[in-house]
Amino acid sequence: MTDPMIYHLIWTCYGQWLQGDDRGYVDDEHNVPGTNYSPGNPQFRAASANRMTEPPVWLDDPMRIVAVEALREACRFRKWDCCELNVQPDHVHIVIIADESRGVEARRKLKSRGSAALNNAFGVRRHWWSDGGKVEVVRDRWHLHAVMNYVRNQKFPPPRMRE
C-alpha cells in the first residue's frame, strides 16, 4: 500500500470544453504539465461538436446535489478524506486524501460513481463527463490551503442540500 496522497481532481461535464475551444485545449503537441494549452481553433471545435453522440451536460441544482452525495459516498466507501468538493453546472472540483498511487485512478472511480448515481436519478446517458480531466498533486499545507480556497469559491455557489 502506498502512502496517502492529496489530489485536486477536476473534470468537465460532457460537451462543456471541446477540443478547439477558444479557452484553449490539450492536444498531442500541448500535453505536458506546465505547458500552455493549444490555441482555439473554430474548425476543430466544430468537428469535435459534430462527433458528440449526446447533447452537452449542464447540471441543474438537483443533478448537482445527486453528484455531490454520490462523490461523498464514494469517498466514504473507499475511506478517502474528502477535503473539499464543489460540483459546478459544467465541471467538478474535488480535493481528496487517497491511498491511491495514481490520482488518475481515483478520478476514474469518482466519475464512475457520479455517473451511476446520475443515471439512476435522471435517466441513463452514456456520457455525463468528458474524457479525462486534471490531476494535481497537492504538495504542502500552503498549497492545500490555496487549492481548498479556490475550490470553495467557484463561480456558482454549492446547491442547497436536502435536509
Beta-bridge partner residues of 5: 98
Q: Which residues contact 100 (CB under 8 A, 6 or more apart)?
A: 2, 5, 7, 106
- Sequence length of the chain is 163
Using a 10 angstrom Cβ sphere, with 0-12 exposed, 13-18 middle and 19 or more buried, the burial of residue 68 is: buried
The mean pLDDT value of the chain amounts to 87
pLDDT of residue 35: 63
pLDDT at 12 over 90: yes
At 163, is the pLDDT very low, low, confident or very high (cuts 50, 70, 90)? very low
CB contact set of 158 (below 8 Å; sequence gap of 6+): 64, 68, 86, 87
The per-residue pLDDT for 159 is 63
Residue 1 CA: distances (Å) to CA of 99, 100, 101, 102, 125: 7, 8, 8, 12, 35
Report the alpha-carbon distance of residue 143 to residue 148 in Å, rounded. 9
Asked if residue 138 lies in contact with residue 92, where contact means CB atoms within 8 angstroms, the answer is no
Tell me which fold the domain 1-16+57-163 belongs to: Alpha-Beta Plaits (3.30.70)
- Tens of pLDDT, residues 72-86: 999 999 999 999 999
Summarised one tens digit per residue, pLDDT across range 130-155 is: 998 889 999 999 999 999 999 999 88
Residue 27 has pLDDT above 80, yes or no: no
Whether the model clears a pTM of 0.75, i.e. scores above it, the answer is yes
CB 25 within 8 A of CB 19: yes
Cell (9 digits) for 51:
462527433
Domain residue limits, the chain: 1-16+57-163, 18-55
Q: What per-residue confidence (pLDDT) applies to 26?
A: 64
Does the pLDDT of residue 2 top 80, yes or no? no
Measured from the Cβ of residue 11, the count of other Cβ atoms closer than 10 Å reads 24
